Structure 1
Amino acid sequence: MSDLLTHADVTARTDARHWRVLLNTIHASFRTETFTRGFLLAQRITIAAEAVQHHPDLHLTYDRLRVRLTSHDVHGVTDRDIALAAVISQIADELGIESEVPVLGVTEIAVDALDIPAVLPFWRAVFAYRDDATTQDALEDPAGIGPSIWFQQMDAPRPQRNRIHLDVTVPHDVAEQRVAEAIAAGGHLVSGDRAPSFWVLADPEGNEVCVCTWQARD
């Protein structure tokens, strides 16, 4: 087992051209342009991962390869992830494949509940999810593709506003741009009191979303 690294340490030690910290994981999105180049990059990454017996999650589409690294035994980023990220960056450079940091993000569904144990089984059944390994108050997609669902404890009923919202965790250095673009697109800032940890935004009808980063969370 390796020691957990802080998000600040991970950010300092990974290639800023490619990697960003998102929810106790590090992500990169490589613009491969063709499926064949994406498959080649995925193949090279697979060989490197097998050599060190530490395996990333890969999501290959026609023109992109998304890579996610974490150490599941400690539920966070360790030296193993840093080392493999460096190898993956080198492989991408050798193949002449660039990355796209601004497109990175992880979405969660947040459900405010008075009685979490009563509510959680419903969402587990509807989504066919499983309990999150790191906390009792969250669910995760067994396939690792869909958004996780987490449950926030309420102290009293709140009928005056929505009780389900989205959390979008983005790279720390693009968060303010995301917030500005959302406001320019017709939304408004509900609260920035906890920034840069998160900003609370709402669309023109009051539906809320939080734009989150790793900062102010370590």
Structure 2
Amino acid sequence: MRLITITQDYYGLTERNAELARRISAVARKLGALAVPSAVQTVQVTVDVLVGRAVIPFWRALLGYQDRANSPEDLIDPQRRAAPFYFQQMDTPRRQRNRVHIDVWVPYDQAEARIAAAIAAGGRLVTDAHAPSHWVLADAEGNEACVGVAGWTGPEPSRS
């Protein structure tokens, strides 16, 4: 089963989704089924762009995706099965950094374990300046990924 919130203004895993997953897991336990709350997540691919209108049509055609309503910087799978693509506007090219990264949202109580596992697997913490909404990690070659908290309701962080 996949739980995700898709509205005109939001695509991702909310706290409501995480709570519903916990309830489903509790029922599954009572029925003897295996519950794995640590597997609750949603993933987004983020592409840094200088001129979004120049690259978004390519990705839309290549992926067979469509524009997300009211969000010209997002493309989504019309079948809602694959990760959305977000095109993050940059003012200048990034030097020494990747231009594509993965965003992974997990429930708040899973974030610390996910970050620790990624670091133990050879990653490193780039910044926790936006915590607790999200942390930026990197692999051994410096390719970045963000771990975000599902349903974060604090101040809107800048996307990194």
TM superposition score category, shorter chain reference: 0.7 to 0.9
Moved over 2 A (4+): 69-76, 88-99, 214-218
**Displacement, 1:75?**
5.4
Question: Secondary structure at 1:174's aligned position in 2?
Answer: helix
The aligned residue for residue 103 of structure 1 is 39
Equivalent-residue separation in structure 2 for 1:71 and 1:105 (angstroms)? 14
More RCO (CA 8 Å, sep 6+): 2
Bigger mean CA deviation after superposition, 173-182 or 155-164: 155-164
Amino acid at match of 1:101: P
Q: 1:75-114: CA deviations, max 9, x gaps? A: 58xxxx89xx59x749657745453210111110001111
TM-score scaled by structure 2?
0.78
Question: Secondary structure at 2:72's aligned position in 1?
Answer: coil
Report 1:59-208 matches (<5 A).
66-68=1-3, 70=5, 72=7, 85=20, 89=24, 92=28, 95-97=31-33, 99-208=35-144
Work out the number of aligned pairs and report it: 147
Structure having the higher Rg: 1
**Displacement, 1:71?**
6.8
Q: 1:134-175: CA deviations, max 9, x gaps? A: 411100011111110001110112232111110011111110
What stretches of structure 2 of length at least 5 have no aligned partner? none
Equivalent-residue separation in structure 1 for 2:81 and 2:118 (angstroms)? 25
- Distance 1:70-1:157 versus aligned 2 partners, 3 A rule: closer
Task: Check the 8 A contact 2:77/2:83 in 1, yes or no.
Answer: yes
Amino acid at match of 1:126: L
What stretches of structure 1 of length at least 5 have no aligned partner? 1-65
**Displacement, 1:117?**
1.0
- Distance 1:71-1:204 versus aligned 2 partners, 3 A rule: closer
TM-score scaled by structure 1?
0.59
The RMSD of aligned alpha carbons is 2.8
